[in-house]
Amino acid sequence: MLRGTKLYVLFGLGTILWPLFSSARGESRIAFVHLFEWSWNDIGKECERQLGPKGFTAVQVSPPQQSVDRSEWWSRYQPISYAIEGRGGSRSEFRAMVRRCASAGVDVYVDAVINHMAALNRDFPLVPYTSNDFHTCRSTINYSNRFEVQNCDLVGLNDLKTESEYVRRKIADYMNDLIDLGVKGFRLDAAKHMASGDIRAIVSKLKRRVFIFQEVIGAGGEAVQPSEYVSNGAVTEFKFERTVGHFFKGRAKLKDIRHVINSRGWMRSDDAVVFVSNHDDQRQNTQATLTYKDIGNLYYIGEIFSLAYPYGYPKVMSSYFFEDHDQGPPRHGVHSGGACGREWVCEHRWRGISNMVEFRGKTSGKFFVSHWWDNGNHQIGFGRGGLGYVMINREDFATIDKVVDTGMRQGTYCDIVNGEVKDGLCDGATISVGADGKAHFKVGAIGAAAIHVGSLVRGGGGGNGGGDGSQSDDVEVSFECRNGQTVTGQGVYVVGSSVEVGVWEVGRAVQLSAAAYPTWRGTISMTRGQRVEWKCIKRSEAKADNEQMEQWQGGANNVLVASDDGQLAVASF
């Protein structure tokens, strides 16, 4: 489905060998994930255990080239050479990762830092680059001035002369080295700060066709715009991130989101890479961007919408927990001593998100919206041409309890947001579609439900109507709040995003026992696989709305994915 404009590489007497790039929706591209700051060894394991089985097309990895030796995450974006070594692992580990991912059916995309080198002096002997290979403009960039955007140092980073044939060849050699290692695509970091023609010249030197997508942040009135770059490859459509953030943060009625996405001024869907959050904006643009830190399940249902809505090539962000903008990754990786839900967020593993990748794949043959429904406010539902249907509830308190026309064939379907299909059966909620294509959805506040042709089952555990998260497989989770010193009349409670822990209502929080004071403990029954955000709070035992007696645990929400009886969830004041 390569419908976008393409540039072709010619060799010899005008023989066309291959397009320089392929469109965002070409070659069965479904969805990919950014495993931000994961090590090569951990990514290889994740491809085998999660990404391949769940149908992810590719994984974006952090910049692999040698960079300044610092702990902050942004140090990876300050290269000192093009050698494959650094925090992610060695060259041999990188090669092994690519092979393992390829065996699992997952492509590897590299975040390529080619606009600049580190903010050091202008001598990089390991490349080598000298001062002659850099622009000389070091002034603060005025974004209405094209020359400054593309020739001045970006926040002090040494800006390469990408118009130089020598520099272009060095960059292309680096990318070709990665292609030889099996890399199938590149994110071009800070592409806006390179002339489109310079990028075209570099990419034309690549030895094989790969997927190219360019980071170009569009803003009205600026000299450089994303549309200039589509002849080189796909482009990041930041309007999507901002739009999803705007609507899901409740600043406009969710029912109107369909009139904004892909409207005038947006990138064509085939040219767009879209995301709900990225590694930059989850730190520096949180007012406009949904992140895992948003209260309740807002980020969760925003990602579900992103994977259901037929626009662009979606990228899922997978983060680590952080309190400081500059904070680097945890010392131990997910598969090497760390854990999802503790040091690492692992949004891509949340059931509703990971299962929606298959939804997008199963509905790709009908890449349009059908059977739209809304309540005139923040509840919406839409189909995908009879291949799938999703219902999303952005209301803070109201439940969706509605029969809608899905356009799907008759049968019982597993609600993949709240259940898994195993051996033809659903271990969670099911939704029955009648002979007339209609189905009854019941979806709780800040929740979602989804069905698709691949989730047709023989029966299920959640009954007709599903979507409210009810399942049959419960586990007992032990909660522990430490350092909970209290005053007379005050107790320690757990409150969080699910019904079991009060849906963030202080008056419905679950009280813990003070038998091990100042550690407070309690056991709460939850559903296996259920994802819950939660916090410890101190409040009045007699009057829940006594704000003078109320104290919340600091920092970001704790995240729990219920797995087994006796699972321990720990936090501290």
pLDDT of residue 21: 55
C-alpha–C-alpha distance, residues 350 and 416, integer Å: 11
Q: Between β-strands 531-540 and 551-552, what pairing exists: parallel, antiparallel or unpaired?
A: antiparallel
pLDDT of residue 483: 93
pLDDT of residue 525: 85
pLDDT of residue 466: 40
Asked if 471 contacts 447 with a C-beta cutoff of 8 angstroms, the reply is no
C-alpha–C-alpha distance, residues 213 and 188, integer Å: 6
Cβ atoms within 10 Å of 395's Cβ, excluding its own: 18
Fold observed for domain 474-572: Immunoglobulin-like (2.60.40)
pLDDT of residue 24: 59
The residues, ordered by sequence, that sit 6+ positions from 392 with a Cβ below 8 Å of its Cβ are 254, 301, 304, 305, 308, 379, 380, 381, 443, 447, 448
C-alpha–C-alpha distance, residues 512 and 492, integer Å: 6
Coil, helix or strand at residue 150: helix
C-alpha–C-alpha distance, residues 152 and 193, integer Å: 8
Select from 3.40.190.10, 1.10.240.10, 3.40.50.920, 2.60.40.1180 the CATH code of 370-452. 2.60.40.1180
Dihedral sign from CA coordinates of 529, 276, 375, 495: positive
Catalytic residue, from 159, 215, 405, 420: name it.
Answer: 215
Helix (H) or strand (E) holding 353: helix 351-362
Enter the pTM of the model.
0.80
User: Which pair of tokens denotes residue 256?
Assistant: 């109107």
Catalytic residue, from 111, 189, 303, 468: name it.
Answer: 189
Enumerate helices (H) and strands (E) in the chain, giving the number of each: 10, 35
pLDDT of residue 2: 31
C-alpha–C-alpha distance, residues 569 and 561, integer Å: 10
Whether 370-452 shares its CATH topology with 474-572 is answered: yes
- What is the CATH code for 32-115+163-363? 3.20.20.80
pLDDT of residue 473: 59
| Neighbour-count burial for 18-42, b at 16+ CB within 10 Å, e otherwise | ebbbbbbbbeebbbbbbbbbbbbbb
Q: Which residue ranges make up each domain of the chain?
A: 32-115+163-363, 370-452, 474-572
pLDDT of residue 18: 40
pLDDT of residue 464: 41
Asked if 512 contacts 491 with a C-beta cutoff of 8 angstroms, the reply is yes
For the chain, what is the radius of gyration of the CA atoms?
25
Catalytic residue check, 565: no
Catalytic residue check, 189: yes
Asked if 275 contacts 31 with a C-beta cutoff of 8 angstroms, the reply is no
Low-confidence ranges of the chain (pLDDT < 70): 1-27, 459-473, 545, 548
